Structure 1
């Protein structure tokens, strides 16, 4: 007598259920990694909510929130922007044949032009020398086509000023304002791209312990910083934080 064939149970095989659970958990895990890579707290919270759902953790009095880990912010794109601006400014300075005594440095997330006070002013004076006019005209020509703001900073050494009614700080402010007024009066740079500030002897480049060092500290600086969003100004730069890994 022939045996009757066993009836097969309906639905997917049992191994398929286990396999589907594993694939779902892997997908949730990679979504979590992606949200952490983008340094986006909102996306992280959303991914954490998805992870709770995948593990069966839903609303309730005893639910525990998954607190996002503390993330260290890194700005490689901003550093790349400063480097590109620095390279371009150096190229422009060579093209314009600017005074070789003008130094260019990268500091405080900006590119800074440093001009010794003897090029622009007589000792103890805040009135621009006629010889300073072509120098400042080239500085303006350098800055004008770039998407940059210019903060004009005045600096002095630590020797007290000779007049009782004027301090080193007063002199540094007057000098930075004189440069700003020259740019505005001669229509070299728009006023909304400039600002003026004086620090006196508070921010020396080197210790004020010799006549040579004091001469280095007496300077006017042009702190060149990006205007607005770098992605609008320099669209060829790619933000690594916005790129998907797949």
Structure 2
């Protein structure tokens, strides 16, 4: 025999069903709160990564006495990483890097700066090579030794980039500036691998010919600035990604 429900039971059922939307709504609000907390933390996470990169590099180059000025000029870097804005050139973060360019600063042949891709160490071609040649010259070996010791002391990915000016070259060995710039980068890479046993998966080489100039090729002085090798300590945030903006 079936008995009709009491009115009290009916109100109880309706109350139970009606409270369900509150549970769903509370869960939705909680999810939104977590989402916005994650968004706000992304910027601080990225900043922390950059700071770890800077600190690890600074600690690794403590093998060098003295320091290095930004872009090879007379500006002196502060001694403490905490004093430096992360967005400023990495060359200004530690005085120990200054020794690398101390002996050749007046010729402005070595410069260090920090870019979004990482630490960039820029070397004029005539400090490493004879004109029209890709073999590292004897006078370039001492400089590569200092740089090689830094690379060996770090765990960062490194890329060696070769650049020329817009004056064409055409020889049996180097039909164009593409071959010359690439051969120079590869020879520097080979030196680091052979002498300092840098793991091959950590280092790469690229040649850009005349297509990545620093300044317009409109004077002998500017052409000399564009003839260079750049050694890039890759920012860990972009390590492993393809190079953007090909020539």
Q: TM-score range by the shorter chain?
A: 0.5 to 0.7
**Offset at residue 199 of structure 1 (A):** 0.8
Aligned residues: 190
User: What SS is found at the alignment partner of 1:148?
Assistant: coil
**Offset at residue 229 of structure 1 (A):** 10
**Offset at residue 148 of structure 1 (A):** 0.9
Report whether the alignment pairs 1:125 with 2:124: no
Report whether the alignment pairs 1:199 with 2:208: yes
Report whether the alignment pairs 1:137 with 2:131: no
The separation in 2 between residues aligned to 1:210 and 1:229, in whole angstroms, is 35
Report whether the alignment pairs 1:9 with 2:11: no
Deviations 1:24-82 (A, max 9, x none): 3132232145347657xxxxxxxxxxxxxxxxxxxxxxxxxxxxxxxxxx776445434
Deviations 1:146-193 (A, max 9, x none): 221111110011111253652111111111111112112213422332
**Offset at residue 215 of structure 1 (A):** 1.3
| CA contact 2:117–2:235 (8 Å) conserved in 1 | no
Query: Which structure: larger Rg?
Result: 1
Deviations 1:96-152 (A, max 9, x none): 621155322333532222111122112222121222222111112212232211111
Larger RCO, structure (CA 8 Å, separation 6 or more): 1
Change in Cα spacing, 1:169 to 1:77, as seen in structure 2 (3 Å) is: farther
* Corresponding residue number in structure 1 for 2:30: 30
* Corresponding residue number in structure 1 for 2:178: 169
Which of residues 207, 221, 243 is equivalent to 2:230?
A: 221
User: What SS is found at the alignment partner of 2:28?
Assistant: helix
User: What SS is found at the alignment partner of 2:212?
Assistant: coil
| CA contact 1:82–1:111 (8 Å) conserved in 2 | no
* Corresponding residue number in structure 2 for 1:190: 199
Would you tell me which structure has more helix in proportion to its own residues?
2
* Corresponding residue number in structure 2 for 1:85: 53
Return 5+ residue gaps in structure 2 as ranges: 1-5, 68-95, 240-247
| CA contact 1:137–1:188 (8 Å) conserved in 2 | no
Return 5+ residue gaps in structure 1 as ranges: 1-6, 40-73, 231-246
Structure 2-normalised TM-score? 0.62
Structure 1-normalised TM-score? 0.62
The separation in 1 between residues aligned to 2:221 and 2:51, in whole angstroms, is 30
The separation in 2 between residues aligned to 1:85 and 1:228, in whole angstroms, is 9
| CA contact 2:163–2:181 (8 Å) conserved in 1 | yes
State the superposition RMSD in angstroms: 3.5
| CA contact 2:111–2:121 (8 Å) conserved in 1 | yes
The separation in 2 between residues aligned to 1:211 and 1:120, in whole angstroms, is 19
User: What SS is found at the alignment partner of 2:100?
Assistant: coil
